[in-house]
């Protein structure tokens, strides 16, 4: 009986000590890529050539990028809507992301204005140096409606204008680019 209690105590102690060790994510080697999503962490880019915050997902044909800071997966290249004369309104952007199969997966959507906000440096209103994205130099729709005016939604422009990269606009306005995201929490009332 004493041996059994000692064995159980040893197993319990080992289990407790192992659970106290934080899990480390594999992020530098070829997949799998584990994000530790946490909106309170800040992963800075070290230089224009080295930004450990973003991991290009080679097992997604390098068409998607994991943001280790938030756990969101972004399309690596922004899209121009086919057959739309290079523009789309807000509903067209929502529909386009819904139907995307980037990296061979459904589950894409327009990001919220807050999710876009996690990408931009406040001083430059742009993406951090060393980011791996291929962007069009134009506006992108967000999934977030502009609450004071029901017919408007937030759009974003990297580099911004004035004091912010965000601007509300009529949902019927044409916007050139659509940049879809996967994962995270999207507000149910944003679509």
DSSP letter for each residue of 131-166: ---B--SS-EEEEEE-TTSTTEEEEEEEEEETTEEE
> How far apart, in Å, do the first and last CA atoms of the chain sit?
62
Report pLDDT for 29. 53
Q: Is the peptide bond before 32 cis (omega within 30 degrees of 0)?
A: yes
Residue 40 has pLDDT above 70, yes or no: no
pLDDT digits (tens, 9 = 90+) for 63-103: 999 988 888 999 998 876 655 555 788 998 999 999 999 99
Number of Cα atoms under 13 Å in the Cβ half of residue 87:
8
Domains within the chain, CATH numbers bracketed: 40-190 (3.10.100)
Q: Give the C-alpha separation, 180 to 166, whole Å.
A: 17
Q: Which two tokens stand for residue 181?
A: 């995201």
Q: What's the predicted TM-score (pTM) here?
A: 0.74
pLDDT digits (tens, 9 = 90+) for 112-135: 999 998 898 888 888 888 889 988
């Amino acid at each position: 009986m004493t041996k059994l209690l000692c064995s159980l105590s040893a197993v319990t102690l080992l289990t407790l000590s192992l659970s106290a060790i934080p899990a480390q994510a594999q992020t530098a080697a070829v997949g799998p890529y584990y994000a530790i999503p946490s909106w309170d962490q800040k992963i800075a880019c070290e230089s224009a050539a080295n930004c450990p915050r973003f991991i290009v997902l080679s097992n997604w044909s390098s068409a998607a990028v994991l943001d280790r800071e938030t756990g969101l997966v972004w399309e690596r290249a922004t899209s121009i809507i086919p057959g739309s004369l290079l523009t789309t309104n807000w509903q067209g952007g929502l529909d386009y992301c819904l139907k995307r199969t980037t990296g061979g997966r459904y589950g894409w959507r327009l990001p919220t204005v807050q999710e876009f906000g996690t990408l931009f440096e406040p001083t430059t209103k742009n993406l951090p140096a060393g980011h791996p994205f291929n962007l069009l130099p134009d506006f992108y729709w967000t999934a977030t409606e502009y609450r004071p005016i029901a017919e408007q939604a937030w759009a974003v422009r990297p580099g911004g204008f004035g004091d912010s990269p965000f601007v509300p606009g009529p949902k019927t306005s044409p916007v050139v680019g659509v940049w879809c995201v996967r994962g995270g929490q999207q507000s149910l009332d944003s679509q």
